[in-house]
Structure 1
Amino acid sequence: MKVVEVTGTPQIFGKYGNQVKRRYRCQSGPRKGRIVADPATCSAPINLQKRQTMRNTRRKKQTIQGKRASYTKKYNPTAKIVKNLNKQVKARRRGRAIKFKK
């Protein structure tokens, strides 16, 4: 039995077009740290040809991709909703700060 099976995959929110959908953050496997739609994807085998193609594309489009992403995060209402929802998820997971009396 793996630790992931006991604790489960952390659920977060992600933007899909103009909708907010539930997503999962991979805890282990080759996609550790990546946000995916289905937890089973985390341990799926990687298609190396697709990976290399995407790396090359991202390298070529790096500047425009960064500008578009920052614009979207700043002005898109769906992106703002996702940001606030994930803040709430983080706060719930972390729990409230412990206050010590002096």
Structure 2
Amino acid sequence: MASTRDEPQQQPLHILFLPYFAPGDLLPVADMAALFAARGARCTILTTPVNADIIRPAVDRPNDANLHVAYSQNVVISVLLFPDVGLPPGMENMKSITPSHG
């Protein structure tokens, strides 16, 4: 029988989520990430600063609940800063686009 130190350590699955920047996609992606994290997968949601504020409550609730489960992981929000390409400040999702911008 092999000892445990001879066996390779298995790293948890790491899933990166990049939701479409529409309000209808942000929260379901956060919920899906929370489900995977509760089952031991490392989950990171890549998003913009404005969208991070939208999904943070949906991520914080399951993260707080997972503190008491040994194999669960926390969902991490990783904020991506994109270069200025002529859009007004804060225009980071489809909800912020108005007919005057189209």
When the two structures are superposed, what TM-score results if normalisation uses the length of structure 1? 0.28
Instruction: Name the structure where helix makes up a greater proportion of residues.
Output: 1
Higher relative contact order (CA 8 A, sep 6+): 2
When the two structures are superposed, what TM-score results if normalisation uses the length of structure 2? 0.28
